[in-house]
Amino acid sequence: MDIEPRILDALIEIANVGMNRAATQLSALLDDEIRVAIPQISIVDTAEVSATLKMQLQQEVSCVTQQLQGQIDGAAMLVFHSSECEALVKALIGSLDNMAGVDLRAYEHEAMTEIGNIIISSSTAVIADMLGGEIMLTVPEYEETTISELINGRVNSEADHDMKVVMMQARLEASSRNVEGNLIILMGVRSMQDLLDRIDAFLTQAAG
């Protein structure tokens, strides 16, 4: 799908407004200065996801997913390499070594779910606020899976199988470590076209 550069630039700006909101919430929650940024966005077909992520289809990932309904119908997924998941939790929350009596895996999953929920909900709320409309979210779900299962499972569960994917490179910076992941928004072609049309109208109004 060919996207005008001004539309893509506007989407990056809108996404970063959402990331700033997410960073504020995470900083307050974790009592640390957290910075979250989206330096790059790509809009691709589902078959191009693996190459865009620079991951193999069978590579294990950690993912927080929320279904979207309203202005955007589809799913939002915050994805990290599984090897970076524990590093992210340590960077944002601190060492887990001294948490005696705590199920560390369960704690890690709970922390990732909350982080994912904040980032996804902040992003979608800003899209809805700035472009008009409403986006409703389901309860976040954490899973460890592969890129292939993640994308194919979501595509097969959607009524509209002709899907587009918004790939947002997400960079999280804490005091001790920088971690990169991807915010993936999977939506049907109709939702994608509506999103692009709303951005175009937003830019036209701002220029007028």
Q: Measure the CA–CA gap between 198 and 128, rounded to whole angstroms.
A: 10
pLDDT at 120 (0 to 100):
94
Pairing of strands 60-70, 141-146: antiparallel
Is the pLDDT assigned to residue 140 strictly greater than 80?
yes
Percent of the chain with pLDDT over 70: 82
Is the pLDDT assigned to residue 150 strictly greater than 70?
yes
- Domains, the chain, ordered by start: 5-207 (3.40.1550.10)
pLDDT in tens, 55-96: 655 678 889 999 999 988 889 999 888 777 776 776 666 655
Tell me which of 196 and 99 has the higher pLDDT: 196
Q: Measure the CA–CA gap between 84 and 144, rounded to whole angstroms.
A: 12
Percent of the chain with pLDDT over 90: 32
Is the pLDDT assigned to residue 2 strictly greater than 80?
no
pLDDT in tens, 165-186: 888 888 888 776 677 888 989 8
pLDDT at 98 (0 to 100):
56
Please, are residues 107 and 7 in contact by the beta-carbon 8 Å criterion? no
pLDDT at 111 (0 to 100):
83
Tell me which of 93 and 8 has the higher pLDDT: 8
The average pLDDT across 127-132 equals 90
Mean of all residue pLDDT scores within the chain = 82
**Backbone CA torsion sign across 50, 53, 56, 59:** negative
Q: Whose structure tokens read 């997913």?
A: 65
Q: Whose structure tokens read 């630039």?
A: 9
pLDDT at 180 (0 to 100):
80
pLDDT at 151 (0 to 100):
75
Burial 109-132 (b: 16+ CB within 10 A, else e): bebbbbbbbbbbbbbbbbbbebbe
Tell me which of 109 and 156 has the higher pLDDT: 109
pLDDT at 113 (0 to 100):
92
Q: Whose structure tokens read 């993640």?
A: 150
CA-closest candidate to residue 142, choices 73, 207, 200, 88: 88
| Reported confidence tier of residue 133, pLDDT bands at 50, 70, 90 | confident
The average pLDDT across 148-157 equals 70
Q: Measure the CA–CA gap between 125 and 19, rounded to whole angstroms.
A: 11
3-state secondary structure of 132: coil
What is the amino acid identity at position 123?
Answer: S
Q: Measure the CA–CA gap between 103 and 53, rounded to whole angstroms.
A: 31
Pairing of strands 178-188, 60-70: unpaired
CA-closest candidate to residue 44, choices 188, 193, 148, 164: 164
